[in-house]
Structures are given as C-alpha cells and as structure tokens.
Amino acid sequence: MDFDQISQKLKLEVSEKILMIKGGNSSVVKAKLKDDSIIAVKIYKGETARIQRMLARELSAVSFLTSNGLLNVPEILEARSDLGLIVYKWIDGESPDSNAKCMDAIITMCLELAKLSKDCEFDSAVDAAFLIEDIKLQILDRITQLRIEFKFKIVKTICALLEDKLRNYQSIFDRNEKLLPFTLNISDLGTHNMLLSGNSFKFVDFEFFGFDSVDKMVGDFLLHPRNLFQKNEILTFKESISNNLTWEPENLKFTLPILSLKWATIAFKRELRNLTQDCSDENLQIFLDESSGMRYLDYYDHLISINAIDSISSFSLFTAKI
C-alpha cells in the first residue's frame, strides 16, 4: 500500500509528502497537511504478527511514559493497527552527535525510567534477559535462523565460528548468573533513536520497550555501533548507572562477551541480506573478513583476553583501534 492510499484510508488532507526515512523495522513519512501542520506516519515492516507486536508495544510504551510525566517522547495523533502504523506529530530536529550533552540526556532518561520501575507494572522488553541462559538461547535461536534463511556457503563457516565462541564462553563462565537489578529499558538506547529539537532531546522508537536487566541495557548500549562516545563519556555513563541503579560494573566481565556474540549474529544477518546469490567464493571470504559480524567476534576475543575491568570500553572505540 503506497502513501496516497494510506492517506485516503486515514482521511488525511495531505498537501505535500516531504520526506521518507527508511529504517530497519519501520519507515517514517513526513507529510504536510492542508492546515500547514506537519505529521510523521510511522509504518512498521515485517510479517503481520511482528507488525502488530511492535505497534502495540510502542503505543502502550508512549502512552505509559506520557501518563507518567515524561514529555520527551513523540505525541501520538492516531494509531491504526489495521494499517500497521501510528501517526505522530512531527518532531523538528536532527540526530545528535555523541557528545557530553547527549550523554547527559541519555543518563537522565535512564534514571527517570529507573524511578518509574519501582512503582509500576509493565511487560518485559522484547528480547529481555534476566539470566545468562536467556542470552545463550537467543544466540542459538539466531544461529538457527541464519542457517534457515541464507544458503551461502559462508554461512556454514559463520555459524561454526559463533558456536565455537559460545562453547568457549561456556567453558570460561560455567554458571547461569541472574542478571539483577531490573529496570524499564528503551531496549534500543542511543543517538540513533534520539532527536535534538531546539535545546532539548527527544527519544523515539519504543517498539521494544519494557522491563529488562540493567546488565543487558548497559551491554547493548556499549555494543551499539552508532554510539560513538569518547572513553570519558562512556565512563560517566557506567559510573552514573552504577551509583544510581545499584549495578555492578564488574558484571561486564561476563555479560559483555556473550552479548557481543549476540550482536555478531545480528550484524551477520543484516550483512548477509546485502549479498547476491552469484557471489564468488573469493568475494564471500572478503565479505567475511571485512564484516561487522567478524569485528564483534574480534571484540569477544578482546574481552576474554583482558583482565582489568577498566579496560572495557565500547565496541565503537574498539573498532576505531583496529
């Protein structure tokens, strides 16, 4: 269904389609109405069940946050589960740089969500992890998905590498740790889901929002390739979360390696989608050697080899040194 058809079904008097922003889970259309107001139509991607799940979660998350006084989130104008979309008031802003001011906003948001976590009920985040075993099972499931979805010769090598690293992890950390404490988590925290609007920051994209372990929240933040913060800013983040959420930074020694394996599966899947079926064996090997998935496996090796917790920084800082 194209945007003109969507506009008709929504009974929108659109005077101009200004912009389309394509993302991994959705596309956002910026449109101007005849009354000169600007809207954002977020159209979810995927199978029907996945679309409905993401839409319902984002709707409940934004409504929950707004009702609890958090106004740095989008304003919903209309939600249509039958069309797989939500209409928002357009936020005029730009994705912020990874700097100290942006980090302050991220920390403030995390602390606000932690406060709400104490006195509210909400569902678990999508892909939440409350035990190390939860992350192991998520990795194994993603490896199975790689084998089913892609028929490239190189996939056998990739899956074998992932399984070997997972066995290595289990031999080193032979335990099923509980991941405590819990907190409400955006679940895709970072500059890529923020807008600098005037002098304030807005947070967007809440389709995976919910309760999760602080360990996983911190780990995912450090592992996201678009969080390009400097070492001192990363240290400020870890110290703030530790001081205010009773989280132990030492946990990164055993949580970040296994989370890096999960991120490797995510990266490999995204990159394999860009390959064509006629790739030569030589090109497939070049792809493997240069892929982000391999960088995450390199990062896993780095994390296993270091001893001092202070040496653990972020994936983007690690890749900058390769």
pLDDT in tens, 67-99: 999 999 999 999 999 999 999 999 999 999 999
Does residue 235 share a domain with residue 162? yes
Does residue 189 share a domain with residue 48? no
Does residue 313 share a domain with residue 208? yes
Does residue 212 share a domain with residue 163? yes
Q: Quick one: pLDDT at residue 251?
A: 93
- Domain membership flag for residue 94: no
Q: Quick one: pLDDT at residue 213?
A: 97
Number of structural domains in the chain: 2
Does residue 136 share a domain with residue 33? no
CA angle 72, 78, 83 (to 5 degrees): 120
Range of the domain at 9: 3-89
Does residue 317 share a domain with residue 285? yes
Q: Quick one: pLDDT at residue 54?
A: 95
Last residue of a domain, one of 26, 59, 89: 89
Q: Quick one: pLDDT at residue 85?
A: 95
CA–CA dist 130, 109 (Å, integer) = 21
Alpha carbon 226 to chain centroid, angstroms = 10
pTM of the complete model = 0.93
- Domain membership flag for residue 311: yes
Q: Which residues of the chain have pLDDT under 70?
A: 308, 322
Does residue 125 share a domain with residue 27? no
Q: Quick one: pLDDT at residue 153?
A: 87
CA–CA dist 239, 234 (Å, integer) = 9
Q: Quick one: pLDDT at residue 109?
A: 97
CA–CA dist 169, 177 (Å, integer) = 13
CA–CA dist 85, 54 (Å, integer) = 10
Does residue 104 share a domain with residue 40? no
Last residue of a domain, one of 89, 116, 136: 89
CB 182 within 8 A of CB 130: yes
End-to-end CA distance of the chain: 44
- Domain membership flag for residue 34: yes
* CATH code, 157: 3.90.1200.10
Last residue of a domain, one of 20, 55, 89: 89
Length of the chain: 322
Does residue 117 share a domain with residue 62? no
Q: Quick one: pLDDT at residue 271?
A: 93
pLDDT in tens, 242-301: 999 999 999 999 999 999 999 999 999 999 988 887 788 888 888 899 999 999 999 999
